[in-house]
Structure 1
Amino acid sequence: MGDPAGIGPEVIAKALAGREVQRLCLPLVIGSVSVMERTVKKLGLKLAVVPVQGHDPVPPKGNAVAVLDPMEKPLKKFALGIAAAETGAASVEFIKKAVHLAEIGCIDGIVTAPINKEAINMAGCHYPGHTELLADLTRAKESGMMIVGGPLRIMFVTTHVAIKDLSKLLTQAKIEKAIRLAHRALTDLYGIKKPRIGVAALNPHAGEHGLFGNEEARVILPAARAAQAQGIMASDPQPADTLFGKAVKGQYDGIVAMYHDQGLIPLKLVAFGTCVNLTVGLPIIRTSVDHGTAFDIVGKGVADPGSLVEAMTLAARIAQNRAMARVK
């Protein structure tokens, strides 16, 4: 459910009311029963919230919305659109329960609605976001964030950092890890046997032989060459202003971006509202919406479920691919 004070409950209810999701999978909402009941009622949706306990079977498809609430006590009344320790703690409990069910095979994957970083930290859970929390819960050796949308699949070397700090934060090891994770995602999750990965340069014109910076020669090219030596089809650093266009035309299966906006600006230009966050490196399937809790529009009934529907579609597709691979 994500943070109950955010738009998570609303986009979940809207997504589950659509026929598209009903054809995809048998969904189980892990979150507050009372919150889902209030949300469905306020939106006027023809859905029936059905509480389930433990490992109860999920009701068959239709207008039933199965909700499993892992909280020891029901969530108390809270204010919408405001970060609070209570709702932050609840969102963490929902995640922990989902991970447990996925690890023991009761569910095939997790799709997360947005959490609020301030709220989970207020609750004593000191993580910058879902990705790091999930990595710790699943004891993943290494993991990373890939965001997909339209024809683009982008893995990031850095995410939420200041531009002024990029040069010192970009290391050969971090870039190699991002290339390695991109390759893993494209082969294991998308089933591409020999994926082509475009590696973005940091500076204009890929540094123009050192005229505009030395990061390409110092860390990016060595990382790309190290990946190539391991059999990964990674490019040498490419100027970002042309690389994304090449990927859109199908010349690359995925891109490794050096920083947040380098990858997200082109991605949202081609797929705004339908982008999906895919965590690579976990032993379980996890996708997520590519937006926040949107506290400013909570309760107005205007939240768009498009990203959640796309996230559910991707998770279902990956789960199906894995099931078929096991049969083979």
Structure 2
Amino acid sequence: MNAPKKPRIGITIGDINGIGMEVIMKALSENRFNTLCTPIIFGSAKWLAKYKKTFGYDFAYHQFNYWQENSVNPHKINVFNCCADKNVDIEFGKVTPQGGKAALESLQAAVQALQAKRIEALVTAPINKSNIQSDKFKFAGHTEFFTQKFNTAESLMFLVSETLRVGVLTGHIPLAEVPKCVNREKIIQKVEIMVHSLRYDFGIEKPKIAILGLNPHAGEEGLLGREELEIINPTIEELRQKGLLIYGSYPADGFFGKQLHKKFDGILGMYHDQGLIPFKTLAFHNGVNFTAGLPIIRTSPDHGTAYDIAGKNIASEESMVASILLALEVYRNRQKGEDLETLKKEKKQRDLQRKHRPDSTYLEE
């Protein structure tokens, strides 16, 4: 299947009682998305129409197109009705079982579309990690869900903005479990995912990566912990011996305090808050959560359901806009990479054919 000129970008609705649908509608009000992509929202046209009417959103697309397998309209916002109970009322700011069920149904339909290559990328609106739990969703978050659904051994939670890219060695696990997960194999695995992503998803040929220490002051030469001396630093040296531009380990507080993050293409923190606190401090309004290492493209706004402001029409769509734009950027970069690989394979095949031709034929060319 040849990819369309305007890539189809799927968007899940997240928790219906949060700000997910609000930021989706606001983001798609921007005229530029009419020319950049074909958006397909997985949810309920009834709920979206209610948002449109209640808050008076004005779309360049004018109206929804109800999407079936072969009925995508590249000039409108397409909606795939996948939520079984459409009579559920939206209850802004409330945590309800119905909100979690709708979020899961949206995710499941989007996964099926990705697997069938009916969409080129997916942007996920925020879920509530509590009310979405069920027999079909037993994950700490989106990252773990997509990693299993697409049979990937390991992925990387990669927080991305225009000036900062931060990944974490360990994601949604208790802090007490983090030191047990800091080992040579995992560091190598995450760094290799980050390097590959920076090259092929972001077009950076020789990425420069910083590794943060686990302990305060990166262990202070063993005084405050020995993980840096015994695990992290030797692994960094091993990776450098392979020709990778890997540096560290850096004390996390001084690293960001001294603005050293501006000198690197990617940063790998050891645990969730070590990476996300500085990232959200520096790039909260336009940050994107990108799952690197997957065969599909998945991005998400770097914020939660924000129940406290749901239904007030004051949520910022900046992060949702940035998530759609990043999905498009990664898609285009991957297309370029695939085209380049195809050219290399074709050249190799031509060289082999020439090699096996009679000498006279080969010399005449």
Tell me if TM exceeds 0.5: yes
User: Which of 20, 42, 50 is equivalent to 2:64?
Assistant: 50
Residues 38, 77 of structure 2: 8 Å contact kept? no
Does 2:143 match 1:127? no
2:348 maps to: none
Number of residue-to-residue matches in the alignment: 325
Query: In structure 1, the residue corresponding to 2:186 is in which secondary structure?
Result: helix
Query: In structure 2, the residue corresponding to 1:97 is in which secondary structure?
Result: helix
1:194 aligned partner, one-letter code: K
Does 2:172 match 1:160? yes
RMSD: 2.1
2:170 aligned partner, one-letter code: T
**Equivalents in 1 of 2:187, 2:307: separation in Å?**
34
2:231 maps to: 219
1:255 maps to: 267
User: Which of 301, 322, 325 is equivalent to 2:334?
Assistant: 322
2:162 aligned partner, one-letter code: G
Residues 187, 194 of structure 1: 8 Å contact kept? yes
Structure 1 length-normalised TM = 0.91
1:209 maps to: 221
Query: In structure 1, the residue corresponding to 2:249 is in which secondary structure?
Result: coil
The farther-off stretch of 206-215 and 284-293 is 206-215
Query: In structure 1, the residue corresponding to 2:291 is in which secondary structure?
Result: strand
1:146 maps to: 158
The farther-off stretch of 235-244 and 7-16 is 235-244
User: Which of 303, 311, 317 is equivalent to 1:299?
Assistant: 311
* Structure number with larger C-alpha Rg: 2
Cα distance per residue 1:15-43 (max 9 Å; x no partner): 00012433432211111111111111111
Q: Which segments of 5 or more consecutive residues in structure 2 lack a partner in the other structure?
A: 1-12, 341-365
2:45 maps to: 33
1:36 aligned partner, one-letter code: L
Cα distance per residue 1:185-212 (max 9 Å; x no partner): 1112112122111001122332221112
2:69 aligned partner, one-letter code: H
**Equivalents in 2 of 1:227, 1:85: separation in Å?**
47
1:266 aligned partner, one-letter code: P
- Report matched runs for 1:1-328 at 5 Å: 1-47=13-59, 48-61=62-75, 64-74=76-86, 76-121=88-133, 125-244=137-256, 245=258, 247-249=260-262, 251-328=263-340
Shift of 1:217: 1.2
Cα distance per residue 1:252-311 (max 9 Å; x no partner): 110000122222232223222111000011110110011111111111111111100000
Structure 2 length-normalised TM = 0.82
Percent of aligned pairs with the same amino acid: 37
Cα distance per residue 1:198-255 (max 9 Å; x no partner): 0011223322211121110122123323333444322231222343445443x31100
1:59 aligned partner, one-letter code: N
**Equivalents in 2 of 1:247, 1:104: separation in Å?**
43
Q: Which segments of 5 or more consecutive residues in structure 1 lack a partner in the other structure?
A: none
